[in-house]
Amino acid sequence: MPMELLEKIINDCKGMPLKKINLFWFGDSLCNNRIIECLQIVRKGLPNVKLYLSTNAGLLSEERSRVIIDEELLDVINFDLDGIKKETFEQIRQKLNFEEVVKNVRFFLDYKKLKAVKKPETRITIINMLPNEKEIPEFIKYWKPMVDKLDVNKYNTWLGTQENLNVGKSFEESESGKFTFACNHPWDELVIAADGKAGLCCLDFDLKAKIGDVRNDTIKEIWHSTKLNKYRNKMLNLNYNSINVCKNCNAYIFQKNKFWAKIQQ
């Protein structure tokens, strides 16, 4: 994302009731050679907004770790690691080196401990799926003592485009269930791609449901737009079949037990 576009977005958000910014979407943000500068721009422009980053840690150098911790650039950092054994990890996270990733994460955690600081909160996530299901207990045993939070997530099929690799009950729910409530995404988040196009949801990976463009409109205008409200109304009426990007989505397995879903049912 061009710096001037990032700064425009930050200016749009000033004075708004914004809870957090996730500075990542589809691809690892550490691929951006100017990621530290991006974090600094967001932190300076919106000092009271929580800033999140999720990464596979393949490019989390010691220098980057030191700057992130020393300058308190993040409130939360999440490491997406999907295996505790080299073979499993590299099968899932292809083109990454298991030893290098573990070394990078361990350095970050050790440096934070050395500096005796609270920020950022450290999280590690593993997706429970067929290739790694037997490693989950070992993964938890190894990583949980080192981090602030560890999550074991279900497998998302990305709008039905990927094979369902869920296991057990989650597989059954993903195969046979459906949204019986309005998905919370259009009320919770606004996704902005590197070129400024705004999307309905973080799962709409090629922005088929384009709802605006921050190069032409403000964040507030897009958030309250007729186009976005039409999608919200369709979801409230459970008319998912009329939304191409939503009709095969299995994200209900992540939301069905949440308060938002319960009050609608």
The string of DSSP codes covering 232-263 is: HHHHHTT-GGG-TTTTT--THHHHTTSHHHHH
Please give the structure tokens belonging to residue 163.
């094979």
Closest to 228 measured CA to CA, from 198, 193, 195 = 198
CA angle 188/207/22 to nearest 5° reads 40
**What is the CB neighbour count within 10 angstroms for residue 190?**
21
**What backbone torsions phi and psi does residue 42 show, to the nearest 5 degrees?**
-65, -45
Share of the chain above pLDDT 70, in %: 100
Which residue(s) pair with 178 in the sheet? none
CB 232, CB 181: distance < 8 Å: no
What is the pLDDT at residue 210? 84
What is the pLDDT at residue 27? 86
User: How do 121-127 and 149-153 pair as beta strands?
Assistant: parallel
What is the pLDDT at residue 248? 94
pLDDT tens digits, residue range 55-108?
Answer: 999 999 999 999 999 999 999 999 999 999 999 999 999 999 999 999 999 999
Share of the chain above pLDDT 90, in %: 97
Which residue(s) pair with 210 in the sheet? 199
